[in-house]
Structure 1
Amino acid sequence: MGLCTKLFFFCVLVVSGLFTPAAQAQQRYWVLFKDKPALAEGPWVSEQAVAQRRLQHLPVHQPSDAPVHQPYLDSLARRGFSVTSVSKWLNAAVISVLPHQATALQQAGYIQEIRPITGYFQTTSTAVPFQPNYIAKALSQLKSEALFVQSLTGRGVKIGVIDAGFYQAPEKPGLATLFENGRIKQYRDFVSPGRQDLYGEKESGLDAHGTEVLLCLGGNDPYQKVISGLAPEADYYLARTDHGSLESRVEEEYFVRALEWMDSLGVRLVNSSLGYGTGFDNPAENYRPDQMDGGSYIAKAVQMAVEQKGMMLVIAAGNDGGNKKWQILNTPADAPGVLTVGATDYFSWVKQGYSGIGPGFLPYLKPDVACFASSGTSFSAPIITGLIACLLEEKPSLTAAQLTDILHRSSHLYPFGNNYVGYGVPNAGKALELAHNLSAFPKAVPLEVHGNRFIYKPKSRNNIADNGGIVLFRKQSPTLVMAQQKLSSRVKRIVVKRLPGETHTTLQVGTTVMELVWR
């Protein structure tokens, strides 16, 4: 089952006590402070977080770890503003007020900027139930037996899961061993922090979404001998930041707070199948497609997590690929540095129709990689996260940048990525080899084609069907796809006729990949 959650991030600037305006006239705002004066002595994070930074040669003491300057928050309170959220990383607070009140507040000397929160974070759901046989196909596609041979299970790796809820997770046979063996270390509900029954109380129809994501990450039923996740022996830190039936931008605040919480505990690897774009309950909060440029506050937070904190973030690309009014991925999947995961078909490794497309205006390639998911990128992302957990178990010193490079280079289209499936489907065996030797596989070289036709005769058709079949990605630039085309794996002669406007074509014939550059 593949739900890719798009979570709205709706930030409201809380009403000044001097006025009593109608609730609908208020708006949420990020209030960004200029500095953090009089910083106290650190560290402000756990010993585990310090150890992770030392392992990656990152600064141990970072100003962004320090709390927001309390007198600034006190000043907002004295002005009658109620702070609903605080981010130490962004050095910001969220309040809700009328626009003219926000304008007046801008004059305060300690405030750098006040930005209204518009835009939406959405959960894309599906009615297809979780089916382990679908996950088995994804594991097969990644050639995951290479991990099993090495007995890699994510042991010793801390994984954070930010999602919409983990309803009935302890009751799932595939997750029983995680709970019995103490692998679920902590769980925080940022939506309803007062809830007592974290796994048994249901607030929306999407409360089990995180449960199914967890099955794709660490699922293992020893009695039925079913493995549905590659990291059954990792340690898990769970965060609920999305209310499945109430979509608003406040959920972006919860997301950022969950990231900060996980970092403080030394969590190294984070998976989220949430994304913000369009579909908020309040249409004014919806983002525009051109805002999927890595500039949202949630995107900035995840970029900081990667670049400054050394965290590896894996984000689902979203399920709007078939939505003609949107089509592209959601934020924070647009952020530089995060590993964005799309979804492919199983038999021919083309983009699934629903999988979000990378915007053509980004200066970097998105998505990064992809793998099979039957009904949503929510379930392709945790499969890739499980693979990364095994790589970290094998070599804990790998940085987020190195892990991203390994995933890119081990994928079947590399180095000829595109905005449909990124660099394609990773190969677990290649990834393991690259973990020990980052230059193990040399780059392929493009082939210049003069004229408007190219003919290729496969020397052998063995294993073509088991390695993605025959696919053409027709592109109007090195990365932007015009159309994807599946051919029968039985054809003996492939004739590629150049389309109007086509400048590059990636020809995939099983494990053979060629990049045609039309001249």
Structure 2
Amino acid sequence: MFSNLRLSICILCMAHCCLVFAQQEAWVYLTDKQNVAQSISNPITILTQKAIDRKNAQGIAIDSRDVPVNENYITQLKAQTGIQVMAKSKWFNAVHVRGSEVDINALLALSFVDSIDFANDGLNSRPALVQDNFSIENTLVDFNYGDAQNQVEMLNLDCLHESDYTGEGITIAVLDSGFTNVNTMSSFQRLRDNNDLLDGYDFVDRNADVYNFTGSNHGTKVLSTMAGYIENQYVGTAPDASYYLFRTEDVSSENPVEESYWVEAAERADSLGVDIINTSLGYTVYDNSAYDYSISEMDGNTTYITRGANIAGEKGIIVVVSAGNSGASTWQIVEAPADAPNVLTVGAVDSSGDYASFSSQGSAIQPTQKPDVVAKGSATAVIDENDTIVTNNGTSFSSPIIAGSIACLLQAQPFSTVDEISQAVRMSSSQYEFPDYFLGYGIPDFCNALTLLSVPEIDSQDIRIHPNPVSSTLHLNASEGSPILVSVTDTLGKRVVEDETLYNNQLDVSQLKSGLYFLNIHSSESHKIIKFIKN
């Protein structure tokens, strides 16, 4: 009797699993958008003024990716049999749907559907991805002054704080899994009193009450490393920055829709004019193994979330991402979106600056150096949802420590571009000349980064250079016919390109190492200096 009952239960469980996994996840790419030309010519209809100003300051064009998805198309998709619309992306002009394979494929009959990309690789040759928990269990520490001292001074960030660069005027979006009690904790009272807790949204539950979800305090602790403030006991790296809080991670399960939530949140951050995104999330495998990614797909341009992170960087946002906690596992390498070339990937070290064994490593699979830099991620001082200072391990915390530090740097150099800021952080780091897959370029020195960015540039009204950053050939927009005498110096003042006369307004810089340089333009009337970055 008991055996029959147990068999029946097993059969029911198997049937339930089959029913659950019969529901597929897919991205439906659409053919076009509405009113593209009109929206681009009148961008205030699709972006905030802050977003427009940020793009203009960095010379970033407003394009069709800024135009929203056609809501009429979404309405029609929702009306299709068996289809549940989960999320949408204006950057990809795509909608994330859930349904059976048959019902999803039937969407191809709609005239506005361009293509369908299943999360299950076996259905269309596409990989999938999974979220890794980036924080490791905490232990209580004594409540005393300086609990955050080591993680701040390791980066020489106190140098910027002493100059009143504390992130004021800079906006950070935190994309995470839960922000329990942020709206009531005394640790964030300063943040609320200064009206720097701007807004939030729960992309998982689709509501504006981002504090209502209590299933995870991860985002609370992540935020504390930047914005936490307890007088004489704890100061985050950017206590005077402003923050948007977006919940994109569903801790109850692992499904590809979470990367779509992330892209939605990044798009909203872009529309709001956010300067920096921090995300302490990473994806490699899912509850349904058919969606799992392979190591070879951490190539900087495969996963949906990685491609979204790359676009965020192109839009002028500094995207800071945790490397992951897979260093001691069989996976070992960075997790999406930390493989993206347009993000600053942050690994972890201990209080002595030594590699933390759990920190995910870079590899030759990534197109750029990963991790980029490291910060304290072992026994990091954070504040939990009970207003208690505790220590946690994980790149979840080294990443926001860097993001907050960058906010201070950006406050000091508000007209620097994403590439200039990111490159200065890399160049200031402890092993910039000899990076590796464990520490990347090393531990940044933010005082030195500020010095690098503060080198005066004497620009010209009649001479501009492009592209910048440059890989091989630098072009000068100057009047044709007049030869130009130029030289190039590095940040130490060493001349790396001797005086060279240009007759075609082009300079070959392919032989230079990656870094920040100064183009010196000489004439009988003046001497002009223009910064450029060599990729």
Q: TM-score range by the shorter chain?
A: 0.7 to 0.9
Give the corresponding residue for 2:196: 183
Give the corresponding residue for 1:220: 229
Q: CA deviation at 1:271?
A: 0.8
Aligned 8 A contact 1:135 1:373 in 2? no
Aligned 8 A contact 1:277 1:288 in 2? yes
Give the corresponding residue for 1:368: 372
Q: Choose the corresponding residue for 2:363, options 351, 359, 365.
A: 359
Give the corresponding residue for 1:25: 22
| Count of equivalent residues | 415
Q: CA deviation at 1:128?
A: 1.1
Does 1:125 find its partner at 2:163?
Answer: no
Aligned 8 A contact 2:175 2:277 in 1? yes
1:34-77 Cα deviation digits (max 9, x unpaired): 33254343421111111111111111x32111122344334434
1:275-334 Cα deviation digits (max 9, x unpaired): 1113x3333332222221121111111111111x111110010111111x2111110111
Specify the SS of the correspondent of 2:47: coil
Report the Cα distance in structure 2 between the residues aligned to 1:24 and 1:372, rounded to whole angstroms. 40
Specify the SS of the correspondent of 1:123: coil
Whichever residue aligns with residue 359 of structure 2, its letter is S
Matches within 5 A, 1:308-387: 309-323=315-329, 325-347=330-352, 349-374=353-378, 375-387=393-405
Matches within 5 A, 1:187-198: 187-194=200-207, 196=209, 198=210
Report the Cα distance in structure 2 between the residues aligned to 1:203 and 1:148, rounded to whole angstroms. 33
Q: Choose the corresponding residue for 1:306, options 298, 308, 313.
A: 313
Matches within 5 A, 1:20-59: 22-36=19-33, 38-39=35-36, 40-41=38-39, 42-43=42-43, 44-59=46-61
Aligned 8 A contact 1:357 1:419 in 2? yes
Report the Cα distance in structure 2 between the residues aligned to 1:354 and 1:376, rounded to whole angstroms. 8
Aligned 8 A contact 1:130 1:212 in 2? no
Q: Choose the corresponding residue for 2:408, options 377, 380, 390.
A: 390
Give the corresponding residue for 1:274: 281
Aligned 8 A contact 1:203 1:243 in 2? no
Report the Cα distance in structure 2 between the residues aligned to 1:306 and 1:429, rounded to whole angstroms. 24
Give the corresponding residue for 1:436: 454
Does 1:76 find its partner at 2:71?
Answer: no
Cα separation, partners in 2 of 1:73 and 1:228, compared to 1, 3 Å: same
Q: CA deviation at 1:243?
A: 2.5
Give the corresponding residue for 2:442: 424
Report the Cα distance in structure 2 between the residues aligned to 1:56 and 1:258, rounded to whole angstroms. 22
Aligned 8 A contact 2:372 2:440 in 1? yes
1:429-448 Cα deviation digits (max 9, x unpaired): 101101212943479x9xxx
Whichever residue aligns with residue 150 of structure 1, its letter is S
Specify the SS of the correspondent of 2:68: coil
1:486-514 Cα deviation digits (max 9, x unpaired): xxxxxxxxxxxxxxxxxxxxxxxxxxxxx
Cα separation, partners in 2 of 1:193 and 1:114, compared to 1, 3 Å: closer
Whichever residue aligns with residue 256 of structure 1, its letter is V
Cα separation, partners in 2 of 1:352 and 1:57, compared to 1, 3 Å: same
Whichever residue aligns with residue 389 of structure 1, its letter is A
Matches within 5 A, 1:24-173: 24-36=21-33, 38-39=35-36, 40-41=38-39, 42-43=42-43, 44-59=46-61, 61-80=62-81, 81-106=83-108, 108-117=110-119, 118-129=128-139, 135-173=148-186
Aligned 8 A contact 2:21 2:288 in 1? no
Report the Cα distance in structure 1 between the residues aligned to 2:303 and 2:402, rounded to whole angstroms. 25
Q: CA deviation at 1:106?
A: 3.8
Unpaired runs of 5+ residues, structure 2, are: 1-17, 120-127, 379-392, 457-489, 497-512, 514-535
Cα separation, partners in 2 of 1:104 and 1:442, compared to 1, 3 Å: farther
Report the Cα distance in structure 2 between the residues aligned to 1:78 and 1:215, rounded to whole angstroms. 43
Whichever residue aligns with residue 339 of structure 1, its letter is L
Give the corresponding residue for 1:497: none
Report the Cα distance in structure 1 between the residues aligned to 2:99 and 2:178, rounded to whole angstroms. 30
1:417-471 Cα deviation digits (max 9, x unpaired): 111111000012101101212943479x9xxxxxxxxxxxxxxxxxxxxxxxxxx
Greater relative contact order, per chain length (Cα 8 Å cut-off, separation 6+): 1
Report the Cα distance in structure 2 between the residues aligned to 1:194 and 1:410, rounded to whole angstroms. 41
Matches within 5 A, 1:406-421: 406-421=424-439
Aligned 8 A contact 2:132 2:282 in 1? yes
Q: CA deviation at 1:261?
A: 1.1
Cα separation, partners in 2 of 1:246 and 1:78, compared to 1, 3 Å: closer
1:376-409 Cα deviation digits (max 9, x unpaired): 1111111111111011111111111111100110
Cα separation, partners in 2 of 1:32 and 1:350, compared to 1, 3 Å: same
Cα separation, partners in 2 of 1:125 and 1:346, compared to 1, 3 Å: closer
Cα separation, partners in 2 of 1:73 and 1:65, compared to 1, 3 Å: same
Whichever residue aligns with residue 129 of structure 2, its letter is G
- TM-score where L is the length of structure 1: 0.75
Moved more, 409-418 or 247-256: 247-256
Q: Which has the larger radius of gyration?
A: 2
Cα separation, partners in 2 of 1:193 and 1:69, compared to 1, 3 Å: closer
Aligned 8 A contact 2:299 2:367 in 1? no
Specify the SS of the correspondent of 2:395: coil
Report the Cα distance in structure 1 between the residues aligned to 2:80 and 2:164, rounded to whole angstroms. 59
Give the corresponding residue for 2:220: 211
Aligned 8 A contact 1:391 1:435 in 2? no
- TM-score where L is the length of structure 2: 0.73
Moved more, 374-383 or 61-70: 61-70
Give the corresponding residue for 2:254: 247
Q: CA deviation at 1:99?
A: 2.8
Give the corresponding residue for 1:297: 304
Whichever residue aligns with residue 215 of structure 1, its letter is S
Whichever residue aligns with residue 371 of structure 2, its letter is P
Report the Cα distance in structure 1 between the residues aligned to 2:20 and 2:185, rounded to whole angstroms. 42
Give the corresponding residue for 2:530: none
Specify the SS of the correspondent of 2:59: coil
Whichever residue aligns with residue 221 of structure 2, its letter is E
Whichever residue aligns with residue 52 of structure 1, its letter is R
Q: Choose the corresponding residue for 1:261, options 253, 263, 268.
A: 268
Report the Cα distance in structure 2 between the residues aligned to 1:129 and 1:218, rounded to whole angstroms. 21
1:225-270 Cα deviation digits (max 9, x unpaired): 1343121111111111113233222211111111111111111111
Aligned 8 A contact 2:134 2:280 in 1? no
Aligned 8 A contact 2:227 2:238 in 1? yes
Matches within 5 A, 1:444-483: none
Cα separation, partners in 2 of 1:29 and 1:64, compared to 1, 3 Å: same
Aligned 8 A contact 1:303 1:336 in 2? yes
Report the Cα distance in structure 2 between the residues aligned to 1:231 and 1:433, rounded to whole angstroms. 19
Report the Cα distance in structure 2 between the residues aligned to 1:130 and 1:143, rounded to whole angstroms. 26
